[in-house]
């Protein structure tokens, strides 16, 4: 029997670890590509890929590459000086079919226009999981960056412009869009379709039809994005249970931020100089600490059972405008709105809201509203105007320094302990 002491065991272990490290290091090579030849290993990106091993790094020098590149093994492609990959009007410039790959620092253009049953022609197309597309430019393609039936990819710090669709996710869950510039795309800067759990962070969308559009894509995290000069800034359709915070939508022709979905959370968003600032038609959403100014409508809510708290609307035509029922508005402020501070078209509850320097403070055109501890002051017309409404209850409200205090039109309205000066 051969006995091996502890010191010998340790030395054997170190030797094995060193051998494994050496083999691993030796297996990851750096391959060079230059369209002009020179001292590079290859003149074609695809030739380099075909001769690479899993884990290799391919460095591509600046120049023009007329190719349809397919990354069919796990590789890292690094562009030096933004090499241009031009698909010449057919197919896709770069397709990633093997997961765990990285595309960094490329300019892709000239894709074809075929839909191919969902396998659409694009600047960069991702058909695998756990990839990174970084610091690249995609312009004048069918789809700039297209993620199809793939998960856990990161698309970060890219410029995507003048495509039919900018970034397009289809049936692709758990992906991240971070810090991308999305401009002048015909339809959408980013289109997220049938894709849940998407992180959309720090993106800028400008001069698209839709800046960022979600469709049947819920449970998203949507933070710190900006949308300007689009027709629609941020647009959520059938995409509930999402969290929108610290986004800014300004100068959009129609709507800054729109949602027809339920159970979304809107916090600390800002919408200004749009036709509609923040427009919701879904139910059971929460809007807190948002600001809307210089829009036609600051907050426009048609859904029911929504909660609006600590929001501010100023210098709009209409500050808060609700047509859905059973909404609760608490501690919101509306001022300097030329037409009305608060407009209520269906039975709701308003508590401790403040309306001042508007055309009308509170305009009620519905039944069964409860208004408690609200303040209306210095409005050009009425503080509280019940245009058509029955069974409304006004309690402990303060109405001061308006052109007129309260106007009632309807039956069975109740006024208790209000202060009018």
How much is the pLDDT for 17? 44
pLDDT band at 25 (very low <50, low <70, confident <90, very high): very low
pLDDT, tens only, 182-214: 999 999 999 999 999 999 999 999 999 999 999
Mean pLDDT over 26-36 rounds to 89
Classify residue 245: in a domain, yes or no.
Answer: no
User: For the chain, how many structural domains are there in total?
Assistant: 1
Classify residue 373: in a domain, yes or no.
Answer: yes
**Cβ neighbours of residue 338 closer than 8 Å, sequence gap 6 or more:** 316, 317, 358, 359
Classify residue 40: in a domain, yes or no.
Answer: no
pLDDT, tens only, 227-281: 999 999 999 999 999 999 999 999 999 999 999 999 999 999 999 999 999 999 9
Contact 98, 78 (CB under 8 A): no
Kindly write down the DSSP assignment for every residue of 208-256, as one continuous string.
Answer: SSEEEEEES--S-EEES-EEESSSEEEEEES--S-EEES-EEES-SSEE
Classify residue 27: in a domain, yes or no.
Answer: no
Classify residue 398: in a domain, yes or no.
Answer: yes
Classify residue 262: in a domain, yes or no.
Answer: no
Classify residue 328: in a domain, yes or no.
Answer: yes
User: What are the Cα distances from residue 180, in Å, to 125, 150, 177, 350?
Assistant: 16, 19, 7, 40
What's the CA gap between 81 and 63, in Å, rounded?
8
Q: What is the pTM of this model?
A: 0.92
Classify residue 253: in a domain, yes or no.
Answer: no
pLDDT, tens only, 113-159: 999 999 999 999 999 999 999 999 999 999 999 999 999 999 999 99
Write out the residue range of the structural domain in which residue 302 sits.
Answer: 273-421
């Amino acid at each position: 029997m051969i006995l091996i002491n502890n010191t010998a065991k340790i030395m054997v272990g170190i030797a094995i670890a060193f051998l494994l490290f050496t083999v691993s290091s030796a297996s990851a090579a750096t391959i060079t590509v230059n369209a002009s030849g020179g001292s590079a290993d290859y003149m074609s990106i695809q030739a380099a890929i075909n001769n690479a091993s899993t884990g290799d790094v391919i460095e591509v020098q600046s120049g023009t590459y007329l190719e349809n590149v397919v990354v069919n093994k796990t590789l890292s492609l690094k562009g030096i000086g933004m090499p241009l990959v031009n698909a010449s009007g057919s197919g896709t410039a770069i397709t990633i079919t093997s997961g765990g790959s990285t595309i960094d620092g490329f300019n892709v253009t000239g894709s074809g226009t075929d839909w191919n049953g969902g396998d659409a022609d694009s600047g960069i197309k991702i058909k695998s999981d756990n990839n990174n597309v970084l610091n690249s430019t995609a312009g004048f393609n069918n789809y700039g960056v297209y993620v199809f039936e793939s998960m856990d990819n990161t698309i970060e710090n890219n410029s995507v412009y003048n495509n039919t669709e900018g970034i397009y996710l289809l049936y692709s869950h758990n992906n991240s869009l971070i810090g991308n510039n999305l401009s002048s795309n015909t339809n959408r800067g980013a289109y997220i379709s049938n894709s849940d759990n998407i992180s959309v962070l720090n993106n800028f969308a400008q001069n698209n039809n839709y800046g960022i559009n979600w469709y049947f894509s819920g449970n998203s995290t949507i933070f710190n994005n900006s949308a300007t000069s689009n027709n629609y800034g941020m647009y959520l359709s059938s995409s509930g249970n999402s969290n929108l915070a610290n986004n800014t939508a300004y100068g959009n022709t129609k709507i800054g931020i729109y949602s027809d979905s339920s159970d979304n959370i809107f916090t600390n968003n800002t919408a200004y100089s749009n036709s509609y600032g923040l427009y919701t038609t879904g139910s059971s959403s929460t809007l807190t600490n948002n600001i809307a100014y210089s829009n036609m409508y600051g907050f426009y809510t048609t859904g029911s059972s929504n909660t609006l708290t600590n929001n501010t609307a100023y210098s709009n035509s209409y500050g808060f405008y609700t047509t859905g029922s059973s909404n609760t508005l608490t501690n919101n402020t509306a001022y300097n709105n030329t037409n009305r501070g608060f407009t209520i078209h269906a039975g709701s509850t308003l508590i401790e809201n403040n309306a001042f320097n508007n055309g009308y403070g509170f305009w009620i055109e519905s039944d069964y509203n409860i208004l408690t501890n609200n303040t209306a002051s210095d409005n050009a017309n009425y503080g509280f105007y019940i245009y058509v409404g029955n069974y409304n209850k006004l309690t402990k409200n303060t109405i001061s320094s308006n052109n007129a205090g309260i106007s009632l039109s309807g039956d069975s309205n109740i006024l208790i302990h209000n202060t009018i000066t």
